[in-house]
Chains A and B, each alone.
Chain A
C-alpha cells in the first residue's frame, strides 16, 4: 500500500507491518525457549503486541492490557512467592 492510498486502507496495513516484529520475536522465542512457554514473558509480550496493534478500540485495548498485566503478575507471584515465604520463616 502506498502513501496515496485511502486512509482506512493505510491504517489497516500499518498494524500488519508492525505485527511482523512481535511475530518474528515469537517465532524466535518459541524456537529458542528454555523455560516452559507459559512462564515466558517474551512470548506473552509478543502475543500482547500482536493483539494490541490489531485491536483499535480503547475498551478492547484496556481489557487486553489489564489482562496481560494480571497474567504477568500471576506468573511472577507463582514463581517468587514460595521463595519469599521461605525467607520470612527462616529469618524471623
Chain B
C-alpha cells in the first residue's frame, strides 16, 4: 500500500514538473530535459519542506496530498500535453549499455544500505528524527555538522517517507546522477557535438567513478556537482536569468561548497548572456529561492549565523582540528593543485570509494582520453576554450577555499564533466579514439560495482538479508530495545544512523548533559531503560560508581 503511495507521489510530481516545464521551456530538447529534472527536484523539496514543517511527514498524509495533486493535474488535462516517448537515436549498442547501467544502478539501490561514515554520522540521523516525529524537530543530531544545509536530505526523505523505510534511500542520488548525465549531454550539444556522441559524453560523466559511486552512497558532493553542470548547461542554453536561480538555489541548499565554484559560472554567464525573465520563470525562481535558503534562515534564527557552524575560525568539529577554514589560502591552492597532479589524478593510492580518500575518482576515461581530448579541443575550438576556462576558474576557486585533506577532490566533482565533453567531441572526430573511450567506459562500469571501502563480505551479507532488515550494522544486542538513549564521547564520531533501524522503529533520544546528575535526570525524565555509548564517557564513570547504570557490553548500558 505504501509503495502505491510512493508511486502516486512520483506520478504527481512528474506531471506537475511537466506542467511547469510547459510554461518555461527553452525549445531545445536537451535543455528542457535538464529543466524538467530541476523542476521535479524543486517540487519534491518544496513538498517535503511543507509536509515536515506542518508535521505531516507521514505515509498517509503524503499519499493523500499526492492523490489530491494528481487528481487536480489530471482534472486540468495536463496528461494530454505529455510528449510521446521516443528512444534517443544513439545506436542500439549504446542504448543496451545505458539500459544495463540503469539496471545495475537499481540493483545497487536495492541491495546497498547506507554505509558511508559522513552519511551515518551527520547527514542521515536528522532524517531519522524527521521520519520518527513526522516532521521537523528541534533536534537534528549531536554532530556539529548536522546543521549543514540539507537540500539533498529532502530528496532522500521523499524516497523514505512513503515507505517509512530506507530501502530506496539511494534513489535520491540516482536522480542527481541522471541530472549530471542530462546536463553533460546538453553541454555537449551546445558545443556542437552530434546527439550520438553527446549521449556518450553523458555516459562518460555518469560513469566517472567518483560520481557514480557517490550516487548510491547518500553523500551530497555529486549532487552539488550535478547542479553545477546543470547551471552551466542552462547558461550555455541562454535560459532566462530567473531560471538560472533554480539550480543555483538548489545548489546552495545541497552544499555550500557549490558557492565556491560560482566564479566559473559567472564567467560563462558573461560570455553567454542570459535572457530576460518572464512571469512564470520569476515564480519558479521564488520557489527555488525559498527551498534553497531554508537552511541558512534556520541557522540564522537558531544560531545567529546563517553559515553556522562556519565561523571566522572555520569549522572545528573536534578541539584543535579545523575541518574547513574560512576564506582563501594561496598555500592551500598550491598544495591542492600539486596533489592533484602528483598523486590523485591516476587513482593509484586507494580503491574507488565515494569518499575519494587519496584519489580523484576521475577514472581511466579522464586519464587516458580526457587529458588529450581537452588539449586538442582547446587548441582548435573557441567555444571549448571558453568552457574549459570556466571549468578551470571554478576548479581554482574551490581549491583556493578548501582545506587540503585526504578527500578534498570531492568538492570538484563537476570538473570531470569537461573531460567527458572533450572526449565525446574527440570520439566524434576520431573513430579510433572512440574505441579507447569504450574500453575505459567498460572498465569504469566494472570498477564501480562495489564501493572500495565496503566491509569484508558486505555485498554477500547485504544480499542475503531480507529487505526489511537490510543494514550493514545490525547491532544484534539492540534487537529488542524500542527506545534508546545515546551519549557521544566528545572525541568520537559515532555512526548513529543505523541505531534507528532501517524502518526507523527504534526511537533514539540524543543525550546532552554537562554532569552525571544532569544525565541521570534526562534518563529519568525520558523514561529510558537503556543507554548506548560505544566509547567510554567520563559522565558514565560516575553513574557506574553510583550504581545507577550497569554495563551490558558492546557500548550498551542498562539504566536502573
Contacts and interface: CB of A to CB of B under 8 A. Distances in A.
Nearest to A65: B372
Task: Give the interface SS of chain A, mostly helix, strand, loop or mixed.
Answer: helix
Interface residues of B, number: 37
Nearest to B426: A65
B367 interface: yes
Contacts of B443: 77
B448 to A, nearest CB: 10
A10 interface: no
B452 A87 contact: yes
A92 B459 CA distance: 5
B170 interface: no
A90 B351 CA distance: 11
A17 B455 CA distance: 54
A36 B376 CA distance: 26
Closest 9 CB pairs between A and B?
A73-B368, A79-B348, A72-B368, A91-B454, A87-B351, A76-B364, A91-B450, A66-B432, A87-B452
B430 to A, nearest CB: 6
Given A91-B457, A92-B457, A70 B436 contact: yes
Given A66-B436, A91-B450, A83 B368 contact: no
Contacts of A73: 364, 367-369, 436, 439-440
A34 B342 contact: yes
A76 B433 contact: no
Given A41-B371, A69-B436, 13 more contacts: A34-B342, A41-B345, A41-B367, A62-B430, A66-B430, A76-B347, A83-B350, A84-B352, A90-B454, A90-B456, A91-B456, A92-B450, A92-B460
20 contacts: A41-B371, A45-B371, A48-B372, A66-B430, A66-B433, A73-B364, A73-B369, A76-B364, A79-B347, A83-B350, A84-B352, A84-B446, A84-B447, A87-B351, A90-B454, A91-B452, A91-B456, A91-B457, A92-B450, A92-B459
The CB with the most chain A CB atoms within 10 A, among B342, B346, B350, B450, is that of B346
Task: Give the interface SS of chain B, mostly helix, strand, loop or mixed.
Answer: helix
B367 A76 contact: yes
- Contact residue range for chain A? 20 to 34
Nearest to B423: A69
A51 to B, nearest CB: 12
Interface string B245-289: 000000000000000000000000000000000000000000000
The CB with the most chain B CB atoms within 10 A, among A34, A69, A80, A84, is that of A69
Interface of A: 34-35, 39, 41-42, 45, 48-49, 62, 65-66, 68-70, 72-73, 75-77, 79-80, 83-84, 86-88, 90-92
Contacts of A48: 372
A34 B430 CA distance: 34
A69 to B, nearest CB: 5
A92 B36 CA distance: 38
Given A73-B368, A87-B452, A62 B457 contact: no
Given A65-B433, A91-B457, A80 B347 contact: yes
B432 A62 contact: yes
A66 B369 CA distance: 9
B371 to A, nearest CB: 6
Contacts of B367: 41, 72-73, 75-76
A70 B369 CA distance: 9
Contact of A68 (B346, B372, B430, B455): B372
Contact of A69 (B369, B446, B449, B452): B369
A86 B351 contact: yes
B341 interface: yes
A75 B376 CA distance: 21
A35 B342 contact: yes
B422 to A, nearest CB: 13
Contacts of A49: 375
Interface string B349-383: 01110000000000010011101100110000000
B433 A69 contact: yes
A87 B352 CA distance: 9
Contacts of A68: 372
A87 B368 contact: no
